[in-house]
Structure 1
Amino acid sequence: MSRFEKLTHVLWHCQYHIVWVPKYRYRVLKGLIGQEAHNSIMVFSSQLRCQVVELNVQPDHVHLLIKVPPKVSISKLMGVVKGRTALRLFSRFPQLRQRPYWGNHFWAKGYCVDTVGVDAEIIRKYVKYQEKQELQQQEMSFKK
């Protein structure tokens, strides 16, 4: 089985590790709030046709390992996930709005994102020697 996914005109494997935190890095993602954040992230990610590989909601941050189709930008994914989970958490847990310092923003601005995949050195070697391999294959086909 290939690690690649298929769409109509593309074969892809775009996997990202994303980390983000609640505003002021408050430790509020515990208990029912943490469970609701986890469920919301799963639902809103799947609505964008993204596949959650691993999700870990800690009291003061979230780690997400996710496969994202090439037609979905990371900024779009994070806008949807952070925005809609914040709305859901504020509606399900109104006590979160009671704190005056939240200012209707549950998550801190920004996030950390890193690509996950084949080692960069392997890709460099593949790109570097690909032309050499193609030339060798052409020579072999001419000899036949």
Structure 2
Amino acid sequence: MADCESLSHVRWYCKYHVVFVPKYREKALYGKLRRQMGSILQDLWMQKGVEVVEGHVMPDHIHMCLSIPPKYSVSQVIGFLKGKDAVRIQRNLLGERRLTGLHFWATGYCVSTVGLDEETIKQYIRDQEKPQQDQLALELD
């Protein structure tokens, strides 16, 4: 297990495929916000010691493969990321100045563990915007 990370008394390999969406699944992640999403989240990841293995922003959702230290639960990290990120988005990019009620993300999220299929999941995240070749084409005459 050469890919293991270590803390003072533990060796760990905890990777998760996480997806979360804007409130009402609005296509809000485009333009300036889409370009700055990585830098907005990067500061928050560093605060929790989370490593982003792979990530991709779509107009209506974000896919990430995260390596989360075992001292934090997945829900704790995602709650922290979504909460702090929403405040930064509202204040810095959308110009909101309220102290409460700043909502950007939907309440839930999707998470699955990553094991031996890590390369498959990373490829899936990378290829989000590529057209799928195996779908049938609908031709209208």
TM over 0.5: yes
**Where does the alignment leave 5 or more consecutive residues of structure 2 unmatched?**
118-141
**Contact 1:36–1:89 (Cα < 8 Å) also in 2:** no
Question: Are residues 1:82 and 2:82 paired?
Answer: yes
Q: 1:50 is matched by which residue type in structure 2?
A: V
Amino acid at match of 2:107: K
Indicate the structure with greater helix content: 1
- Tell me what 2:116 maps to: 118
How many residues were matched structurally? 113
Cα deviations by residue, 1:38-91 (Å, 9 ceiling, x for unpaired): 222222112100111011111100001010110011111111110111100101
1:105 is matched with 103
1:119-138 aligned at under 5 Å gives the runs none
Aligned-pair identity in percent equals 43
Please list every run of 5 or more consecutive structure 1 residues that lacks an aligned counterpart in the other structure: 98-102, 120-144
Q: Give 1:70's aligned residue.
A: 70
**TM-score between the two structures when normalised by the length of structure 2:** 0.75
Return the letter of the residue paired with 1:107: W
TM-score (norm 1): 0.73
Letter in 2 for 1:80: F
- Cα RMSD (Å) of the superposition? 1.6
- Aligned partners of 2:94 and 2:66: how far apart in 1? 29
Over 3 Å off, 4+ runs = none
